Amino acid sequence: MSTTKPDLIRDIERVDAGIVAQASEFAASILADVAGRRGTLSSRIAPLAPSMRIAGPALTVEVRPGDNLMIHAAMAIARPGDVLVIDGKGDETCALMGEIMVSQCKAIGLAGIVIYGSVRDTEAIREIGFPVYAVGANPNGPTKNIAGRVNWPVSVGGTSVQPGDLIVADADGVVVVEREKAASLLAAAAKKVQDETKRLTEIRTGGPLRPGWLDGALRKAGALAEGETL
């Protein structure tokens, strides 16, 4: 019996829905910080509107530049709440998705689309209100001829994404958190929000403007001598 994995994998282990719900309360920047300041996609991949937000498990798709056949396949097996994460190789010569496909994704109940490639019908997509992150727009349409892969590891905007990983995106961009690691970051994210809220309150209400850690960090970096202060 062959042990070769098929190009289209239907069943994956997704990050737990409860974890997704909790993670959706945090900014992408907060999760990126507590994840070790890593896991973010290239800033080329941006929302079509700043108000767009995404949180959900990754359903990964790899396509040949300019061909969207496997995106249609992925949409056919996607579950409500999934996030299509598409490695379109950063190609901007044509759109891989437009109003019709985005409308279908919304009807399926997907959480959003992250595409390392271009889209079209951007005004219509904004009116639909479905969250789409892409590197650009191009009116040219794609072909539907070339097989790719669904639910394999992909590289999107310089970051590796595994099927089922947690995707959180907002106006700042997209962060990917490994499925196995996501739950362990929630408490740290809540603590960071608490600390940042306290610091902002200090700044806005006449508290100390200089952060308390600054002198120590400068000494550690060699910019200040031991015992010296700013």
Please answer whether residues 113 and 86 qualify as being in contact, where contact means their C-beta atoms are separated by less than 8 angstroms.
yes
Whether residue 121 is annotated as binding a ligand: the answer is yes
Whether residue 33 is annotated as binding a ligand: the answer is no
Q: Which residue has the tokens 């271009």?
A: 118
CATH topology for 17-182? Glucose Oxidase; domain 1 (3.50.30)
Whether residue 195 is annotated as binding a ligand: the answer is no
What is the residue extent of each domain of the chain?
Answer: 17-182, 187-221
List the structure tokens of 99.
């109003």
Whether residue 115 is annotated as binding a ligand: the answer is no
Whether residue 99 is annotated as binding a ligand: the answer is yes
| Cα separation values, 213 from 11, 77, 84, 85, 142, Å | 47, 50, 41, 38, 52
Whether residue 100 is annotated as binding a ligand: the answer is yes
pLDDT in tens, 10-31: 999 999 999 999 999 999 999 9
Cα angle, residue 50 at apex, residues 53 and 62 outer, rounded to 5°: 60
Q: For residue 37, what are the contacts with CB-CB under 8 A and spacing of at least 6?
A: none
Query: Cα separation of 187 and 193, whole Å?
Result: 10
Mean pLDDT of successive 10-residue segments in the chain (230 residues)? 81 97 98 96 97 98 97 98 98 97 98 98 97 98 95 96 98 98 97 96 91 91 90
Cα angle, residue 15 at apex, residues 14 and 21 outer, rounded to 5°: 130
List the structure tokens of 18.
């409860």
pLDDT at residue 4 in the model: 83
pLDDT at residue 2 in the model: 55
Query: Cα separation of 118 and 59, whole Å?
Result: 18
Query: Cα separation of 10 and 148, whole Å?
Result: 14
Please answer whether residues 46 and 69 qualify as being in contact, where contact means their C-beta atoms are separated by less than 8 angstroms.
no
pLDDT in tens, 130-153: 999 999 999 999 999 999 999 999
**Among the listed residues 124, 72, 115, 70, the one whose alpha carbon sits nearest the alpha carbon of residue 94:** 115
